Amino acid sequence: MMAKPNTREALYADLIDMLSDLFDTAPDEIDLDTSPDTIDAWDSIGHIRLIASIEEKYDLTIPPEEQVDMLNVDLILGLLVEKLSY
Amino acid sequence: MMAKSKNFDGLIHLSKIKAAKHLLREAANGSSFTGFLSALRTYQSTDSSVQAIQFCANRIKQFVNANEIQSLRIAILSSFTLELVEPALRVSEFCAGRDLSFRNFPYDQWAMALNSTGELDKFQPDVVFLILHLEDVAPLLAREHLVASQNELDEEATRLMGLVQSCIKSFRIRQSVPVVLSTFIAQERGVERFFDRAAHVSKVRRICSINDQLSKIVSEFSNVYVFDYAEMVSDFGRSSWFDRVAHHHTHASVSSRAMNTLADEMTSFLSAMFGQRRKVLAVDLDNTLWHGIVGEDGPNGVDAGGMWPGNAHRDFQSFLKNLRASGILLVLLSKNNEADALDGFEMNRRMPLSLSDFSVVKIDWNDKASNLMDVAKDLNLAPDSFVFMDDNPLEIALMQEQRPEVATVLAEGTASNFQSFILGTDGLLSPGLTEEDLGRADDYAVEEVRNRQQSTSNDIESFLAGLELCLEYRSPMRGELERVTQLFARTNQFNLTTIRYTYADVLSFIEDPNTALRIVRLEDRFGDYGLVGIVVIRSFGDDFCQEIDSFLMSCRVLGRQVEDSILTIVENDARRAGVRQLVGRYCETKKNHLVANFYLDRGFQSDDEAGIFKRDLIKAIPMTTPEWIKVKRDG
């Protein structure tokens, strides 16, 4: 497994990279407001893929209650910062 | 210090991944197929995460030079959501040379999709996988088998198998593409974990009995296969395979960790089904089949039994004996003094393999590539149907250089691992066992007897007469259609037009009044060759002309003038039907030069159009069947 990013900025960069790869979208089109409403490929299956990818990358388990709250990049980032306790 | 250097290694690894990713991104824009494939494999070997596989899948979709690879449309009908497998399957299929079109139908629609015309038919799949979980389709057995009565459990199982069977039946009326059924396994062990096998009411035994019934369904329909999902899950580890929370939350019951394994296994299965099958394993002797070098250690010094390391070689020999029984011929290629090697077999008679298990034995000091070519000629097989295994990297490299079409396997390290190398080689495994597969190795052993007979006969005609050949020419029976499709798919050398008709095509020929599909079976006094040839004849509504659309024969029966016999039958039938002109076609491929002049040599005239040969039946003197071949007709 890869090294965990140790700042919020590094984590954000990681997330942009991940969303870009998963949803085949250019990195500069992704910001904190990016959500299923702004990316077509981020549908319900896309969301499952994203969760699976995050869980795998940071060696986490995200329970269903939290999965449904991850509605945009900002919220995901907030949740991850909390989970990885920076 | 330690932590620092570990970090440093991690950074190097990260930059490797980045570089590989960059190369793949570049290759997707206009690189050749092989260039792209190699970039894909490199990146995948550095990173196989969910993110990386999705990135690969997106690059494959974007790749522009994919026109040289075949497309494959896979429909997965599952009782749970399996869409997550798509990217991994796209990658594994692409690496196997196939461009994937994929549909996973909603988990509650698998039965409906099979039962009635709709989305599944519209998708026009080339293959359908049916993957069911007991938790979804047999809830009593999966969750409350101790509470439910035996009657209720029996009824549930009967209902399930009845449903699967009727679904396939109704799908078969509409479509003839392969259907692959998966076996069942419980997602976890419950309170029964310590007593299940000992108890009167065993859950595992019930699941086994359901799985047993799958083979009944397979035998009832054609082109239906079983994919052993349960064994694959066991190999991977059941508790990591299933995701119980996701099962309840999103119906995505299989964990994302398992997707690469599932995709790889499905792709290997599909390669076994659609890919070209290798027919021969040519294997080295010293330090491959036994431990030691017989020329140095002596016949008593080599070891394939007892304790380590001989026992690993012994088990590998047993594995090869099984492989042989599944239809792969074994050939021995050894650099030794022949007498030494034969002594080795003589002094170790309790080894699983004996000399008679090999279709051909070549023990000399010639280079192995030329020996392999000689063997190919003896067996009437093309070199690309061979796999070559040797413990010497130099021999492997030489073979790769001189005969790149031969697949090679390096027997590296301990013999305990040899069988997994063979299992990982494309083309040696079969998705189903036909009767021809079961008897093939023995047939070729008989072939050796025939060849020896040939060398003792003075002339070829008296040899052929002595064989007492009997040829059967007729329409295929139901049970022969799979073998017919197999021949269309695999015959390369004696194949005049090499049109790869599918199972569906074969079925349509049987319905079509203007198309006659005839099969040829052959036997002689040594044994039955089975179904060895196919002819497809087209007529065009009038009596004037008939065209031989396809004419192919297994190379095992060459050199007996069976082909002349068949052509004579075709011509006689045409004359009887009042046909005035018989047209033969030849389409050149890389492999069928053997028959380039087939029609010219038999009194057909070449036409202005290349590859077309005509025979005027009014003017031409009728052909005659070689007299040593007895012909049996239907009706």
B192-206: pLDDT as tens digits: 999 999 988 899 999
User: How many Å lie between the alpha carbon of B142 and the closest alpha carbon of chain A?
Assistant: 24
User: What's the pLDDT at B455?
Assistant: 55
For B462-633, which CATH superfamily applies? Gcn5-related N-acetyltransferase (GNAT) (3.40.630.30)
pLDDT band at B448 (very low <50, low <70, confident <90, very high): low
Alpha-helical (H) ranges within B199-237 are 203-220, 229-236
Q: What is the pLDDT of residue B209?
A: 96
Instruction: Pick from B5, B25, B50 the residue to mutate for testing the A interface (most A CBs within 10 Å).
Output: B50
Is B387's pLDDT higher than 60? yes
What span, in angstroms and rounded, lies between the C-alpha atoms of B256 and B264? 14
Q: What pLDDT does B453 receive?
A: 58
A45 close to B (CB below 8 A): yes
Residue of A nearest to B83 (CA): A45
User: Cβ-count burial of B213 within 10 angstroms (0-12 exposed, 13-18 middle, 19+ buried)?
Assistant: middle
Closest chain B residue to A17 measured between Cα atoms? B51
- Looking at beta carbons, which pairs linking B305-312 to residues 24 or more positions away fall under 8 Å? B305/B348, B305/B350, B305/B351, B309/B414, B309/B415, B312/B414, B312/B415, B312/B416, B312/B418
Mean pLDDT of chain B: 91
Geometric angle at alpha carbon B383, from B461 and B394, rounded to 5°? 135
A65 and chain B in contact, CB less than 8 A = no
Tell me the chain A residues in contact with residue B50 when contact means C-beta distances shorter than 8 Å: 22, 49, 52-53, 56
pLDDT in tens, B507-548: 999 989 999 999 999 988 877 888 999 999 999 877 789 999
- β-sheet with B515-524: strand ranges across: B605-606, B612-616, B581-585, B545-553, B527-539, B515-524, B469-474, B629-633
A1 within some domain:
no
Query: Mean pLDDT across the stretch B404-414?
Result: 96
Tell if the CB–CB gap between B51 and A21 is shorter than 8 Å: yes
Q: SS3 sequence, B436-455?
A: HHHHHHHHHHHHHHHHHHHH
AA letter at B178: P
Q: Is B561 helix (H, G, I), strand (E, B) or coil?
A: coil
The pLDDT, as a whole number, for residue B454 is 59
Q: What is the pLDDT of residue A27?
A: 96
List the CATH code of the domain at B69-274: 3.40.50.1110
Residue A60 forms contact with B (CB below 8 Å):
no
Kindly tell me the burial class for residue A33, based on how many C-beta atoms sit within 10 Å of its own C-beta (0-12, 13-18, 19 or more): exposed
Check pLDDT > 60 for residue B187.
Answer: yes
B410-424 tens-digit pLDDT: 999 999 999 999 999
For an interface test with A, which of B54, B83, B102, B247 has the most A Cβ atoms less than 10 Å from its Cβ?
Answer: B54
Q: Could you say which residues from 70 to 89 on chain B have a Cβ atom under 8 Å away from some Cβ of chain A?
A: 81, 83-84
Complex ipTM, two decimals?
0.95
Residue A1 has pLDDT above 50, yes or no: no
Interface test with A, best of B7, B11, B51, B245 (most A CBs within 10 A): B51
Of B213-222, B549-558, B622-631, least confident by mean pLDDT is B622-631
Place of tokens 């390391």: B309
If you measure CA to CA, which chain A residue comes closest to B17?
A2
Residues of chain B positioned with their CB less than 8 A from the CB of A24: 58
Minimal C-alpha gap between B260 and chain A (Å): 13
Instruction: Classify the C-alpha dihedral B542-B543-B545-B547 as positive or negative.
Output: positive
The residue of A18, A48, A59 whose CB has the most chain B CBs within 10 angstroms, and thus the best one to mutate to test that interface, is A48
Residue B469: C-alpha distances to residues A30, B258, B348, B450, B630 (Å) = 75, 54, 39, 12, 6
Say whether residue B55 is in contact with chain A using an 8 A CB cutoff: yes
Which of B50, B84, B245 lies nearest to residue A64, judging by beta carbons?
Answer: B245
User: Residue B541: what pLDDT?
Assistant: 74
Average pLDDT (B92-116) is 94
Check B50 against A49: CB less than 8 A apart: yes
**Minimum Cα–Cα distance from A16: chain B residue:** B51
Q: CB neighbours (10 Å) of residue B236? A: 16
Q: Is B46 near chain A, with CB under 8 Å?
A: no
Which residue shows structure tokens 């019951």?
A: B253
Give me the residues of B, 13-32, that contact A with CB < 8 A: 14
B84·A45 Cβ contact <8 A: yes
Cβ of B54 within 8 Å of Cβ of A53? The answer is yes
Encode pLDDT of B487-512 as tens digits: 998 888 899 999 999 888 999 999 89
A48 with B252: Cβ contact below 8 A: yes
User: Comparing B88-97, B398-407, B431-440, which segment has the lowest mean pLDDT?
Assistant: B431-440
**Band of pLDDT at residue B459, cut at 50, 70 and 90:** low
Cβ–Cβ contacts within 10 Å for residue B255, how many?
20
The pLDDT value given to residue B1:
42
Nearest CA among B550, B556, B509, B560 for reference residue B531: B556
pLDDT of residue B560: 82
Q: Kindly list the residues from chain A whose CB atom is less than 8 angstroms away from the CB atom of residue B55.
A: 21-22
Task: Answer whether residue A2 is part of any domain.
Answer: no
Q: Is B355 on the interface with A (CB under 8 A)?
A: no
Q: Which two tokens stand for residue B253?
A: 């019951």
pLDDT beyond 80 at B9:
no
Q: CB contact, 8 Å: B51 with chain A?
A: yes
Q: What is the mean pLDDT of residues B263-281?
A: 93
Distance between CA atoms of B258 and B256, rounded to whole angstroms? Answer: 5
Q: How far apart are alpha carbons B216 and B233 in whole angstroms?
A: 23
With 0-12 / 13-18 / 19 or more C-beta atoms within 10 angstroms meaning exposed / middle / buried, residue B256 is buried
Query: Does any CB of chain A come closer than 8 Å to the CB of residue B250?
Result: yes
Instruction: Calculate mean pLDDT across residues B460-473.
Output: 82
Residue from A14, A47, A49, A59 to probe the interface with B (highest B Cβ count within 10 Å): A49
pLDDT at position B433, please? 80
A32 touches chain B (CB under 8 A): no
The CATH code of the domain that includes A12 is: 1.10.1200.10
CATH topology of domain B280-423: Rossmann fold (3.40.50)
- What is the span of the domain harbouring residue A40? 8-83
**B chain contacts of residue A63, beta-carbon cutoff 8 Å:** 245
Minimum distance, in Å, between the CA of residue A54 and any CA atom of chain B:
9
* Residues of chain B above pLDDT 90, percent: 71
Task: Give B 255-294 residues with CB within 8 A of chain A.
Answer: 256-257
Within 8 A of A57 by CB-CB distance, chain B residues are 49, 51
In whole angstroms, give the CA distance from residue B499 to residue B501: 6
Give residue B446's pLDDT band: very low, low, confident or very high (50, 70, 90).
Answer: low
Quick check: B51 and A24 CB within 8 A? no
- The pLDDT value recorded for residue B409 is 97
pLDDT for B478 equals 85
pLDDT digits (tens, 9 = 90+) for B288-341: 999 999 998 999 999 999 899 999 999 999 999 999 999 999 999 999 999 999
Do the Cβ atoms of A53 and B49 come within 8 Å?
yes
How many domains would you assign to chain A?
A: 1
Q: Do B256 and A52 touch (CB under 8 A)?
A: yes
Which residues is B70 bridged to in the sheet?
Answer: B98
Q: Do B14 and A2 touch (CB under 8 A)?
A: yes
Interchain contact B52–A (C-beta under 8 A): yes
Asked whether residue B425 carries a pLDDT value surpassing 80, the answer given is yes
Q: In whole angstroms, what is the distance from residue B399 CA to residue B387 CA?
A: 10
A4: pLDDT strictly greater than 70: no
Q: Do the Cβ atoms of B14 and A3 come within 8 Å?
A: yes
Query: Which member of A3, A56, A67 has the closest CB to residue B49?
Result: A56
Is B255 or B626 the better-scoring residue by pLDDT? Answer: B255
In this prediction, residue B408 carries a pLDDT of 97
B38 has a chain A CB within 8 A of its CB:
no
Query: What's the whole-number mean pLDDT along residues B239-250?
Result: 95
Among A18, A48, A57, the residue with its CB nearest the CB of B250 is: A48
Of the candidates A30, A32, A24, A42, which has an alpha carbon nearest to the alpha carbon of residue B90? A24
pTM of the model: 0.78
Q: Pairing mode, if any, of strands B280-283 and B612-616?
A: unpaired
Tens of pLDDT along B552-562?
998 778 878 89
